[in-house]
Amino acid sequence: MTNPLLSGDPLPRFDLIRPEHVEPAIRSLLEANRGQLATIEGDTSPTFARVVEPLEDLAHRLNRTWSPVSHLNAVMNSGALRDAYNVCLPLLTEYQTELAQSEPLCRAYAAIAEREAATLDPVQRRVVEQMLRDFRLAGVALEPGRKARFKAVMLELTSLQSKFEENVLDATHAWSRHVTDPAELAGVNEAIIDQARRRAHEERREGWVLALDQPTYVAVITDAESPALRRDFYEAWTTRASDRGPLAGRWDNTQTMEDILRLRHEAARLLDFDSFAAYALATRMAKTVPEVIGFLRELSRAARPAALREFAELETFAGGRLEPWDVAFQAERLQRSRYTVSQEELRPYFPLPRVLTGLFGVVERLFGIHIIERTDVPVWHPDVRFFTIESRGTQVGSFYLDPYARAHKRSGAWMDDCIGRKVMTSGSTRPVAYLVCNFLPPLGSQPALLTHDDVVTLFHEFGHGLHHMLTRVAYPSLAGINGVAWDAVELPSQFLENYAWHDGVLGEISAHVTTGAPLPADKQRQLIATRSFHAGLATMRQIEFALFDFRLHAGYDPARGGRVLETLAEVRREVSVVPAPEWNRFPHSFGHVFAGGYAAGYYSYKWAEVLAADAFAAFEEKGIFDRVTAERFLDSILSRGGSRDPLEAFVEFRGRKPDIAPLLRQHGIAA
């Protein structure tokens, strides 16, 4: 029987893929790849066509085989799938490290760079240059003992990072709050209450059972009138997978974080970098540790005075000192009193079908594309939908949309690569993306109703999706988001967020679920005004996360260990405005840094936000739907993937280097 992961179908067969297919498929593919690699490594007259293109093909096929497995592990997690996933992780890491440490391949790429310099086009040269850089960063030039140790470190890190994420997922799903007094639910969204009622019924309990999924946590901490309920949720959320809180010691990530930091530092030192932060910057737009620290502190100097004013005003409004679990609740009340608009009040105006239609309309006007839904594609859950994108009558890409929170699905929102674009002599593929969110699901016959924060999240992830799907790069290693400097990869996503805040768009993405009327003009004005509400506090929160992450990796000392909580305390003393209790353990669930790709890179969100605000300012100067500006943005940035230096690409679009002023203006923070 054919393994569906190896069937060669144009799209993954999510209707057929089972956990038992995973390990055989990966082992089979790795064996076949190694056989082809041996042939390529033995080529005595390497050329781009005989070495680079076959390697691009091998990587492309492996990525599209592993992608549905990795994706299902995040959105339909199960014990059997998790086991299969964890068996394959070290196999893949070992293979990738072997490939990246291959001296024959490195010599072949160096020879191609020298011999074919005059005949390669700019994108081909970039492919070769990036690979030569990656060879160096994988330790290809290390002596055998150090090379073997680097490989062992990479294998162990892969396992530890997966374990970190599993611990967070298990801790999140293990906690719930049983409520028997309806008064304790005062202020909470009716959809959340109904979901809790159904969960209690399923568990054969009286009353309501509130889970710790992200929509429920946000709703409780923002809207619940009960301080005790808010505190319980805050404590459970901020102590997940740690030594404190209601599940103290279960799935504790303390030692996992320590081991991850130790191994990252060791890997960097093996390659003669001072720190993992310096190693990470070798592939980034920012180039030095002082440059990143200086950037964050420059932003802090601009935003901190505003944040201090905002917090003092909030405590005055609340009538006294605020506990951390009171801040979001009181901020929502203050915002509502000032702007007569709230996130929950806006939900009826943002049914998901209308928001999607409006979002698609925005990108169709900007980039001349057309988005069409298909219902004949196998998906992993009944909630999932599939769309294709056409440009000038030709399909250029497609995407899956998985919008709702559910059990055994990772929290948060993300875009990921299902299939990358490829146009080579061996054949071609169009890019396919996963767009994943965790919105509240529909209630009865009513469609899912989004907060405006949810709307912004959807625009953000779709911006990532456009970056992946509208690429014109032929080689998979540089197509879409591949090969893009990590601190520039958020530019398209944060750029598109701006449209969700614009009065020229809000009427198109809103329609009251009962009357069909768009969000009234006065509500639109009030909503837009909230964008700068507590912008100082929001900026300082992101700076706190970014500075903590960067200092953790830049200042690691093997003699002292990770110093995770000590570093966090030092950073908080420097930049924090909202106090946090001693038992807060947010690092233990900080998946971006300890399980994802943002290690020594969380600053990228603010770095790219500067780029995005400056890019959007170009549209504001000409008109937010100006096609000439949009075509320039598409040509210079969206379609280029990793095929050129991000600073050069930005300068080509904007005509100058990035300026921090548009971001400060956008958030109402004085420079």
- Identity of the amino acid at 205: R
Strand 394-404 and strand 414-419: the pairing is unpaired
CA proximity to 355, closest of 582, 519, 175: 519
**Catalytic residue list contains 332:** no
SS (H, E, C) 228-289: HHHHHHHHHHHCCCCCCCCCCCCCCCHHHHHHHHHHHHHHHHHCCCCCHHHHHHHHCCCCCH
- C-alpha dihedral sign at 351, 353, 354, 355: positive
Instruction: Please list the residues that pair with 176 across neighbouring strands.
Output: 211
Helix (H, G, I), strand (E, B) or coil at 4: helix
Torsion, Cα 469 470 476 477, to 10 degrees, reads: -100
Residues 6+ apart with CB under 8 A from 270: 139, 142, 146, 149, 150, 153
Rounded Cα distance, 392 and 21, in Å: 39
CA proximity to 347, closest of 484, 439, 234: 439
Strand 385-391 and strand 394-404: the pairing is antiparallel
Active-site position among 166, 461, 497, 544: 461
What's phi and psi for 599, nearest 5 deg? -60, 125
Rounded Cα distance, 36 and 424, in Å: 18
Residue 254 structure tokens:
């303390």
| Residue that has been written with the tokens 């932003």 in this structure | 299
Residue 226 structure tokens:
């009960």
Cα-based distances in Å from 174 to 251, 312, 407, 420: 10, 37, 11, 36
Helix (H) or strand (E) holding 156: helix 144-174
Cα-based distances in Å from 272 to 143, 157, 275, 287: 13, 19, 9, 16
Strands (E), 173-241: 176-179, 208-211
Residue 91: Cβ within 10 Å count: 16
Helix (H) or strand (E) holding 399: strand 394-404
Residue 374 structure tokens:
């298909």
The count of C-alpha atoms lying within 13 angstroms of the C-alpha of 303, restricted to the half-sphere facing its C-beta, is: 30
| Residue that has been written with the tokens 């330790």 in this structure | 139
| Residue positions annotated with a catalytic role | 461
